[in-house]
Amino acid sequence: MSRRKGFAVLLCTLAFSAALFTAVAQEHAHWTYEGEEGPSHWGELEAEFALCSTGTTQSPIDIELNVGVNIDDIAFDYAGSALNILNNGHTIQVNYDAGSSITYGDVKYDLVQFHFHTPSEHTVAHEAAPMEVHFVHRSESGALAVVGVMLTEGETANAAYAAVFDHLPAEESEATTMDAQVTALDMLPETRTFFTYAGSLTTPPCSEGVRWLLLDTPVQLSAEQIEAFKAIFELNARPVQPQNARDVIHDTGSGS
């Protein structure tokens, strides 16, 4: 074998090994929202999920309606996006096109995706909403910030959410780009004051260090829109977690 051919074989072998390692690294234990693979057992399913049981700043939590303060607003800089929608087996997710972001505490976070839970994962004064949408953002350093919006039932369909609810994939699927657009800014309430606290991902591996920004004004969907989601995911909400020593701050500023 020539030196050139031998080098080529080595590169192919290394590439295959790297691909195999990546595939293995991305395989995780199966988890659900009920039964032996449900939230109370997530931390036992594999080592990478340990924080689901041992973490001390876990999400979601119950939000108490106490006196708020005026703190930094969230600056939203959202553009539109193609509807890149998928069913990942746990929720309906829309991967958002690049170019949209928020700024909070002088840190810019890019909007990566949004997804839904039913009922709401956070509760306010121990009351859950029919659904909750999470807008997931990532900073240049990799820090996560999630804007949460409670979704309640109204009399008419919400036009800003129509593209999503008209294209819900009923079965687990890869992301598909539909002939439709979504605008995240239109999916938010006009009043954007919020609760904020330090929390975690609400699904395995339950990573901590997530900045939660839960808007305190809900958005209405129609009963038909809510039921369309529930027909696919009847329950996909993690129960509330202990607040422990964390502060929850209620912004009463202008919102932006």
Residue 24 lies in a domain: no
Task: Kindly report whether the peptide bond that precedes residue 218 is cis, defined as omega within 30 degrees of 0.
Answer: no
Residue 31 lies in a domain: no
Residues of the chain where predicted confidence (pLDDT) is lower than 70: 1-27, 67, 254-256
Q: What is the pLDDT of residue 252?
A: 83
Residue 178 lies in a domain: yes
Domain region containing 246: 55-250
Q: Tell me the C-alpha distance between 114 and 145, whole Å.
A: 12
- Residues 216, 151, 241: CA angle, nearest 5 degrees: 70
Residue 16 lies in a domain: no
Residue 8 lies in a domain: no
Q: What is the pLDDT of residue 42?
A: 98
Residue 44 lies in a domain: no
Residue 30 lies in a domain: no
Return the active site residues.
Answer: 90
Q: What is the pLDDT of residue 76?
A: 98
Q: Tell me the C-alpha distance between 36 and 180, whole Å.
A: 39
CATH number of residue 154's parent domain: 3.10.200.10
Q: What is the pLDDT of residue 67?
A: 63
CB neighbours (10 Å) of residue 110?
17
Q: What is the pLDDT of residue 68?
A: 73
Residue 7 lies in a domain: no
Count of structural domains, the chain: 1
Tokens of 252: 């009463």
